A and B are shown apart, each in its own frame.
Chain A
Amino acid sequence: MSPSRTRFALLAPAMVILFFAAAGPLVIVLVYSFLIPGDYGGVVWDFSTDAWFGVVAERDFFTDQLSWADAHLSVFWRSIKLSLMTSVLSLVIGFPTAYFIATRPKGSRDVWMLLIMIPFWTNLLIRTFAIMELIRNEGTINTVLIAMGLVTQPIQMLYTEFSMLVGMTYVYLPLMILPIYASMERLDFSLVEAGYDLYATRWQVLRRVIFPLVKPGVVAGSILVFVPCLGAYVTPRVLGGGKQLMLGNLIELQFGQLRNWPLGAALSLTLLVIVMIALIFYVRAAGNEGNAHG
């Protein structure tokens, strides 16, 4: 075989997988988003832009008047807001954790990382229900608070945005710690000493030396947390109690109870676009860092 043919032959399996696993489904979703919903789910093969229209607007059933689809927009807003907050909270907790582990003696670092990873390998539902057990009205935290006499009524934490934030941070935290730790472990700690030697205080060393050098890990961690958060389904469902929908739940609703597959497809693609925009944003940030490293 000629070299170009060999190359094609070697690439072929990857291309096939790529087509069936990524491009194919994407095309199906794209096509569905331009069709009409069937009465009992599924689609009717008639071209329509109604679904896309329905993502952001709605027509009043009786007066035929157009208005913003507030219900959808508030779900978008909540998803983006909670995903951003989860990323920030994970960073605030994950960065010091990664630093702590990276500065342990070599032998014990793996043990610490294992402790971080064990929950990550545990079933998502189990972890989510564990959080639920902690924060529900009759749960551990409220029971202890009441027993100590600090509060008389249980604090409502479950089924709020707070509970979703706590749950998603807990679930996705390892994805923040892992890449930051990877950057941190490669960090030459004599640079940190050089910083101290040149009159930088702890805070200045963190800001001027450590942070710029582990920024690629921070960017990677933020993407790894932000993107799955946007589409999160199980955690918001359990801890938000179906009252606080996120994008994932809204999409599920269209394919399930509401039997509006085209709208579900359009919403899914909207989610994809938001993810793409976020990625471009992050890659820019990482790109600057790349230049800075020369």
Chain B
Amino acid sequence: MRLSFIRPISCCAVSSPTTLVKPQTPLFLRPPTFKTTLTDLKKWHLWAKSLASSVGSAFLNLDNGPDSNQLLRELNWLIEDAIGTPKSILEQPHKSRNGNSTVLIRTCLDELYVLWKQRVEERRPFQYVVGCEHWRDLVLSVQEGVLIPRPETELIVDLVDEAIKENEELRDGLWGDLGTGSGALAIGIARILGSKGRVIATDLSPVATAVASYNVQRYDLEEKVHVKQGSWFEPLRDNEGEFVGLVSNPPYIPSKDIGGLQAEVGRHEPRLALDGGASGMNDLIHLCDGAVSMLKPGGFFAFETNGDEQSKFLVHYIETKKQGSFSKVKMVSDFAGIQRFITGFRGR
């Protein structure tokens, strides 16, 4: 395996999020001001179900995409998010409910047709369709231009939680989330920190910083989480050596694999969030290098990787190239048994 150790070129280091991007309100938070009849809604539901069923396992076989069962489950969630009244009204075929009775929805019925078509025919990710992703116990706003946080990444918050429980000093210190995307990790961590604990979340993408700021605000965490725009450690120059913890899920997919990704990812999610250079490890290596000077002695780090190969490489890299800088470096696997994370501590 040949790897390039070239530091990614950073283009801008604007430190305050000059938010020109306006974050979109997720469907479930919009007011239910649109009216339709039960009959029309049922008609849409039937149409949507049959569109989902027509997929069978075609996408699954093609690129590990969703099968009908999964799409049908998503359809239920779309209804859950779109309807103001309880969704069980659609499930009571025997009841003598009047077909003309009004149902309040959060977007117009035509739009529901468009949205479901986009989901199935264009493979637009479900989370962009409804504008949110349920992640841990959070509901995060997401939109095109921001990576949809993955279930695997939830575990980083548990890893941080464990580290804090072992060393309570970490609870009230400064944390960094590099490449924060929707703000998922920063928010998840901020909620387990103490009253003095703070998180700085950075991202190069203006859409990401706008959406992350919106999510931070929705969870009332403006006091705890500061979102800054810029490349990796650049917005953090003023805080060098002050961090008790750093987490990141940087882009780690090798460039050559981008073309073959599942349609929901390859066609719709931002390349900036996925492409980790030739080996996929450009950013991970840059982060390992930078963590040395950013972390306080005893500070904790947790990074997500593409899996076994990258994790092993990084542990080896740290042990040989960063000798003495870190201790207790190890790999941690996700629930699918893949070595997904590396964690460790800055030496004392």
The yes or no verdict on A and B being binding partners is no
Task: List residues of B whose CB falls within 8 A of some A CB.
Answer: none
Task: List residues of A whose CB falls within 8 A of some B CB.
Answer: none
